[in-house]
Structure 1
């Protein structure tokens, strides 16, 4: 593994959370309370105490968001883009401080935390350009002297429920697009990583205050657990709800939104697989597999969970991968020399330990997976990433465990490999490592990967904001970030204009009175 920059080159401000918030001029006290004690996954230390939003508070937020929407929808889209530009400049200015908050909040390493804040900046840049490209269509009409077109209009309040592992990026993928589309935003972050949301919403408040056309309460944060999310999903005043998290949570959200005929976009579980062909560049594959499997301590929805290796190279490849794993540095994520930080909490560690135990019972051979640094950090949960050689795709392999566990299986033919990859309920991200053009194109074809993301010669994680992000099957079918996902944030109207003096009807229908 490549050696990272030395500790002396760290860009992090090594300060407590209150000092960091003061430096970005965001008052942490606005969420002060005693409902939630926020502890850092780095060492278990309590960082602060926060107040949660009750039902009445959520109702007030929704009322305020509706009033803000009624004003914001009349602002020209390029002007709305200026708000996002102002916010992006604030994020650029405070990138290091925001990354430090991400690390304190969810335990990401310095480089990954900086990368996440860069994603916020990138989607802002995308949204600013999009604010001048919200195009409709002119449609051919069968009637003379008529014009048919489609127009796109702001939708309303965008309700967003996000997970702990990407406390900044996932919100920005939706919120920045929603804002340029003319919507207002209510964000319920995970109660496991609320500090990033408070920091970013504070900067957004500063941007709103600096833009004359932007109404107050245009983008709000509410803090709470599952019950607050259920209330948000059930409220008929919110036409669009986005949810990122477990499949179980997504089914609940979809049912509540669907019951009131609202819209939902879901990005849920991802039991992602990579195929390593006997025609692969193995050096490239090793690097791609290692980061995809251990990055963010395996706590990405796109983390690599299943490795499907051609039987002729499997033993060699796994041996090399174990050598790489043995070199991984597990430790405090605010140390730039560390590769793997902590799991988010004790429950995550318990789930990992249980999964490894079940894998062993199902015939798996486990390498790694031990808890480490327990003496130094008894209230934090650091683990060695695990490689588990499996005889088949058993029950535990078909489940997603949100931890650095990589199940390895062998295959003989490309059809067998694709069947293994597609043979789980989730369908988020996938990859193949091969130098064979036919294998690569087959993998990308309708007969290949059934996932929303299909990569060739790169890992399953690390998507760029320009493409639509999301997956199929139990992953929920939703899309976020780039491409044409903006259409989910707007309502479409088909318009027909008759500029003649007659009234011909479509399909040749005649009606004379």
Structure 2
């Protein structure tokens, strides 16, 4: 799978790219000056050509033209494309997962899990195609029927982030296509190879289902490409995943043209551990949630709020588990924590730990850079850190996209909830307790203020059956399951008069 440069002893991964792309149906990607780096070694995997303004305009126009006929195709027939995509994803799960590992640095188990998530949302969307329900309401006027219908919205612009390069695209695209929309995708400029692969697979699925392949368009590029999507009135919905800063730019620009926005932004997720908690279960859940994907998930656990009476015991257990973590090249067997996204991620992690210590924090374990054989100077690895904090300082209230777990203590449950909710973000949350009153309070209106609230399970690893998203600075959007499909459609209220009279609403007479 890997090659070693005999002079520099650096691991070489680029040789794998052509074979993987070929297996996924891409023989000659558009080469150019946009370098694609692997965080595993820091090497350039390939250089690709970004789309220019004219190409992006053409992609939007193609999607808009395809929408005019795609919206009239019955939803179960539209689902045939998504069904074929699931077939191809199963067939090519290994190749696509390896490409995710090369571009993102995920360990293979997590990469395969991400592709499985794509398959799962495809299955969900196929079933959804027969459940795009509207209500029938009782009319106050005799001889009238009142109902609502749901119609395709238009072109959906998907702007995705590097850490989940394929799953989040699938959440949006599978549902949008079934709803009758067409899609223009601008992936992260760090993960264009996985985007090329998914685009090729979807085009193959469209052809297999005898559908117009123009229903999906791909534009590669940097922030300028995304900005063009954001500002184009032909794009009815912008679904953007990324930082809060990105959302602050995108939201007002889409609102200014009266477009729709679905924003999935930052998460500064916390878990409360109560005196009654099953600590064996809690430790396992906490470690995975805090260090999975090297702490680079929007749902990563970043704050641990522990009852003072059990804090020392829990910290000892966590520190013992952290010291056993194997950090390294994710392609090597037994590695549990892969690389950070790059040097800038390590700098943010280092600076955040320094600020936390300046605020009185105690570094319990980890937090140091790790040297990995075969990694070049542009690759960065770090041992996940646990920092015990005296209170919730400004650095704790910020989201540092790195594997840092801040530990706070509490004495009464109201204080725990206040600490939990005392941050600007509101994505995912958890409580570990065997006390039913505590768990119910955590899920109540005056409990967790997050879009996701879990009991006795970590903050990460959401299933596609539920709606995914958060509140406050997280953006308020919902993707994936439940009734998240409504974001991709427009609602019409219909009144049908089947009588020969014309009564007015509210009893108004106009004779």
Confirm or deny a common fold (TM above 0.5): yes
Is the counterpart of residue 24 in structure 1 residue 24 in structure 2?
yes
Kindly provide the CA deviation profile for residues 277-315 of structure 1, in whole angstroms up to 9, marking residues without a partner as x: 011000000001000000000000000000000000101
Cα deviation digits, residues 64-99 of structure 1 (max 9, x gap) = 000111111011000001110001100000001110
Partner of 1:392: 391
Aligned with 1:239: secondary structure? strand
Task: Identify the residue that residue 331 of structure 1 maps to in structure 2.
Answer: 328
Give the Å deviation of 1:148: 1.0
Aligned counterpart, 2:435: 436
1:500 alignment counterpart: 499
Determine if contact 1:110/1:335 at 8 Å carries over to the other structure.
Answer: no
1:190-225 alpha-carbon deviations (Å, 9 max, x no partner): 10111111111110011112222x212211111111
SS class of match (1:159): strand
Report 1:168-207 matches (<5 A): 168-207=166-205
Alignment of 1:117-266 (within 5 A): 117-212=115-210, 214-266=211-263
Partner of 2:5: none
| Contact 1:155-1:489 at 8 Å conserved across structures | yes
- Work out whether residues 141 and 504 of structure 2, in 8 Å CA contact, stay in contact via their aligned partners in 1: yes
CA distance in 1, matches of 2:362, 2:324: 20
Q: Which residue in the other structure is 2:6 paired with?
A: none
* Alignment deviations for residues 412-450 of structure 1 (CA, whole Å, 9 cap, x no partner): 011100100100000000000000000000000011000
SS in 2 for 1:217: helix
Instruction: Report if aligned partners of 2:431, 2:456 keep a CA contact under 8 Å in 1.
Output: yes
Q: State the partner residue of 1:275.
A: 272
Cα distance in 2 for residues equivalent to 1:243 and 1:74: 27
Q: Is the 8 A contact 1:109 1:336 kept in 2?
A: no
Name 1:10's counterpart in structure 2: none
CA RMSD, Structure 1 to Structure 2 (Å): 1.2
The SS at the match of 2:262 is: strand
Corresponding residue for residue 3 of structure 1 = none
Q: Structure 2-normalised TM-score?
A: 0.96
SS where residue 496 of structure 2 aligns? strand
Residue among 333, 338, 341 paired with 2:338: 341
**Quick check: 2:14–2:44 contact (8 Å CA) kept in 1?**
no
Aligned equivalents of 2:310, 2:374: Cα separation in 1: 40
**How many pairs does the alignment contain?**
497
Note the 1:43-62 alignment, pairs <5 A.
43-62=41-60
Query: In structure 2, what is the Cα distance between the partners aligned to 1:395 and 1:46?
Result: 37
Q: C-alpha deviations, 1:310-342, integer Å up to 9, x for none? A: 000101100110000000000111123110000
CA contact (8 A) 1:427 1:472 kept: yes
Give yes or no for contact 2:272–2:430 (8 Å, CA) kept in 1: yes
Q: In the alignment, what sits opposite 2:70?
A: 72
Aligned to 1:459: 458
Instruction: Report runs of 4+ in structure 1 exceeding 3 Å deviation.
Output: none
Structure-1 separation of matches of 2:193 and 2:485 = 27
C-alpha deviation, 1:24, in angstroms? 2.0
- Determine helix, strand or coil for the equivalent of 2:246: helix
CA distance in 2, matches of 1:257, 1:283: 47
Looking at structure 1, the residues matched to 479 and 165 of structure 2 have their Cα atoms a distance apart, in angstroms, of 15
Equivalent position of 2:479 in the other structure: 480
What's the offset of the Cα at 1:453? 0.3
- Please tell me whether residue 299 in structure 1 is matched to residue 296 in structure 2: yes
* Residue 107 of structure 1: aligned partner: 105
Q: Is the 8 A contact 1:230 1:256 kept in 2?
A: no
Q: Is the 8 A contact 1:111 1:336 kept in 2?
A: no
**2:307 and 2:67 mapped to 1: Cα distance?**
54
CA–CA distance in structure 1, aligned partners of residues 96 and 213 of structure 2? 23
SS in 2 for 1:502: coil
Give the drift of 1:364: 0.8
How far is 1:379 from its partner? 2.5
* Contact kept in structure 2, 1:109 and 1:339, CA below 8 Å: yes
Distance 1:169 1:163 in 2: 10
Structure 1: runs of 5 or more not aligned:
1-12
2: CA distance between counterparts of 1:147 and 1:458? Answer: 46
Cα distance in 2, alignment partners of residues 376 and 160 from structure 1? 35
Q: Alpha-carbon deviation of 1:14? A: 11
Separation in 2, partners of 1:496, 1:438: 46
Deviation at 1:230, TM superposition (A): 1.4
Cα distance in 1 for partners of 2:345, 2:223 equals 17
TM (norm. structure 1) is 0.96
Distance 2:251 2:197 in 1: 29
1-side partners of 2:368 and 2:357: how far apart? 14
Q: Pick which of 176-185 and 202-211 moved more.
A: 202-211
Taking the TM superposition and a 5 Å limit, the aligned residue runs for 1:292-441 are 292-366=289-363, 367-373=365-371, 376-377=374-375, 378-441=377-440
Deviation at 1:511, TM superposition (A): 1.0
Structure 2 residue matching 1:318: 3-state secondary structure = helix
Partner SS for 1:308: strand
* 1:374 to partner: Cα distance: 5.2
The answer to whether structure 1 residue 90 and structure 2 residue 112 are counterparts is: no
